[in-house]
Amino acid sequence: MGIGDSITLVSCLAGFMAALPALLIFLTLLFSRTTARAARRLERGAILPFFVGLGSLLVIGFPASGMIALGSIFQLAGVLIIMVLLLWAFTGLAAVARLVGSRLYSASFQPDQPITEIALGAGIVSLAVAFPLLGWLLVLPFGAVAGVGATLLTRFSRRRSEPARYADPIPAPDFDAVANVP
């Protein structure tokens, strides 16, 4: 491993560290109701969402990988299915970040500010993922699998979840008030 390989590895890790919090914040803002419900589901317990996520990844992910190997139209269908699974995984990871951020932010005894909670949680999760073996092999896979399960349980459940302390949805900023400031 030469110096070029080391610089490439550090650069890729730095890029991932900059992009992951932005992706998690974007997905939380885009799917605010889903991530709030998934975070509430994870707050009640992560065992059932983990096994639901693991089962869905095994039932959907492996056949999609096999479809990619077949070629032609099956390859396109497999890639689209994998993209949907990645969307579910990162939306679930955004729910995990929202849960982590709300717990850390509520410990500071300040009024609820959802965007600050989300940014704090996304930063903490991305720092945890950045650690070589622990983050890559434990935090990212288990967080994503539990997040997929929580997202699927909240999106496809018949029962409406109880109201929690998460702001649902995130209010849009008032740009008119900012523009009129002297």
Residue 45 within any structural domain of the chain? yes
Distances (CA, A) of 8 to 19, 22, 136: 16, 21, 17
Residue 13 within any structural domain of the chain? yes
pTM of model > 0.85:
no
Residue 38 within any structural domain of the chain? yes
Q: Looking at the 3D structure of the chain, how many domains does it have?
A: 1
Residue 171 within any structural domain of the chain? no
Residue 163 within any structural domain of the chain? no
CA-based torsion, 34, 40, 42, 45: positive or negative: negative
Low-confidence ranges of the chain (pLDDT < 70): 109, 111-112, 159-182
pLDDT at 83: 94
Distances (CA, A) of 156 to 25, 29, 77, 150: 23, 20, 22, 10
Residue 46 within any structural domain of the chain? yes
The crossing angle, in degrees rounded to 10, of helices 72-106 and 140-155 is 100
| Residue whose token pair is 């909240």 | 154
pLDDT at 102: 87
Residue 165 within any structural domain of the chain? no
Q: Cα angle vertex 45, ends 85, 109, to 5°?
A: 105
pLDDT at 159: 65
pLDDT at 74: 92
> How many Cβ atoms from other residues are within 10 Å of residue 50's Cβ?
19
Residue 51 within any structural domain of the chain? yes
